[in-house]
Chains A and B, each alone.
Chain A
Amino acid sequence: MAGWPTRITRKILGPIIRDLIPAPNRRSWIPDVTWNLAWWVLAGLGQVAPKAWFAYSGAIGSGLGGATGWSSSQPGNAKNGTGDYTFTIADSAADELGATTAVVLQFAKVHSIGTANVRCVAAVSHSGSNWEIGVKVFDADAGTPVDAVIFVEVF
């Protein structure tokens, strides 16, 4: 196990650290208690952080930015119809050692950006060599599909 696209654990960062000698001071030495705290917090973040995010404009059918934990590249996107979009992320990627590693995606969150009363849902599925994140956007008053700018996080 290594890092992104895999979530790290505390164990992967090594055992509990022990000082060989007491740290003479905390300005020039990082004692074991600090390392153990930092690794705990870092691994905890690795358990809960989204693996990817991106923004997309349904009106113009274009990505507006995004990144994955392992790359700054944006996902592929396709507009299937009004308020109906599909985004693709490859199901393998290089980790910090350059080793090709399976990407596992499970869930997604989607928000609309703007001032209209809009509601969104998302679903993650696998197709071929990609993960697909399907997003549907609805006018929350009428219940009908509508285009919007959306912000998506993938777990």
Chain B
Amino acid sequence: MAGWPERITRDALGPALADVIPPPNGVSFLGAAVFTLAWWVLAGLARTSSRAWVATDGADVLGHGEAWYPNGDGPVPELTKNGTGDYDLEYESTAANEVNVAKALGLTYAKAYPQGSTNVNAVCSISGTTVTVKVFDADAGTPVDATVFVEVF
């Protein structure tokens, strides 16, 4: 197992650590306890965090970030507007992990959050690496264009 786009486990970071000698001090030496804690927290965060986010108004992608592009240099998800309030955001099918091995993204769920001040609702579905977002006027129940922020797990 390797890292993003896959979620790591604690085991992927190696066994529980043990000091060869007690750290002489905590300023210049980091003991096993520090790394045991850090690896525990890091793996836990990797289990529960979202893996990507993207924002769109239906015309443009307004921002994006992907855990599997940890330098923030990933390609912009491809936006297709299918109709009013109906957007597809397509990611590539694979991405390289930290040892440059291509891995399937394995996207599972997405959540969409309307941005703005009007009563709008948005829902998401995922098929493969395409996230479909549908936006509705929550009063009228009709499709409407709006800016949405999407988190992908």
| B42 touches A (CB below 8 Å) | yes
**Contact in complex: B69, A47 (CB < 8 Å):** yes
A: number of interface residues (CB 8 Å): 41
| B79 touches A (CB below 8 Å) | no
Within the complex, which residue of A44, A109, A121 is in contact with B117, where a contact is CB–CB below 8 Å? A121
B18's nearest neighbour on chain A, judged by CB, is A27
Within 8 A of B (CB), among A111-151: 119, 121-124, 134, 136, 138, 140, 143
Using an 8 Å CB-CB cutoff, how does the interface string of B126-141 with A read, 1 for contact, 0 for none?
0000000000001100
Residues from chain A with a CB closer than 8 A to the CB of B45 are 45
CB distance from A67 to the nearest CB of B (A): 15
A23's nearest neighbour on chain B, judged by CB, is B14
**Contact in complex: A138, B35 (CB < 8 Å):** no
| A49 touches B (CB below 8 Å) | yes
**Contact in complex: B119, A44 (CB < 8 Å):** no
Alpha-carbon distance A119/B72, docked complex (angstroms): 32
Residues from chain A with a CB closer than 8 A to the CB of B2 are 37
**Contact in complex: A119, B149 (CB < 8 Å):** no
**Contact in complex: A48, B50 (CB < 8 Å):** yes
Alpha-carbon distance A143/B16, docked complex (angstroms): 54
CB distance from B20 to the nearest CB of A (A): 5
Residues from chain A with a CB closer than 8 A to the CB of B69 are 44, 47
A136's nearest neighbour on chain B, judged by CB, is B117
| B91 touches A (CB below 8 Å) | no
**Contact in complex: B3, A30 (CB < 8 Å):** no
Secondary structure class of chain A's binding surface, majority of residues: mixed
B63's nearest neighbour on chain A, judged by CB, is A106
Within the complex, which residue of A43, A48, A106 is in contact with B55, where a contact is CB–CB below 8 Å? A106
Within the complex, which residue of A9, A28, A37, A42 is in contact with B71, where a contact is CB–CB below 8 Å? A9
| B99 touches A (CB below 8 Å) | yes
CB distance from B122 to the nearest CB of A (A): 9
Within 8 A of A (CB), among B43-85: 43, 45-46, 49-53, 55, 62-63, 65-72
Residues from chain A with a CB closer than 8 A to the CB of B119 are 119, 121, 136, 138, 143
Alpha-carbon distance A109/B116, docked complex (angstroms): 11
Jot down 16 A-B pairs with beta carbons below 8 A, ordered by A: A9-B70, A10-B70, A27-B18, A37-B12, A40-B4, A43-B71, A48-B49, A106-B62, A107-B55, A107-B115, A121-B114, A123-B115, A123-B116, A136-B118, A138-B138, A140-B138
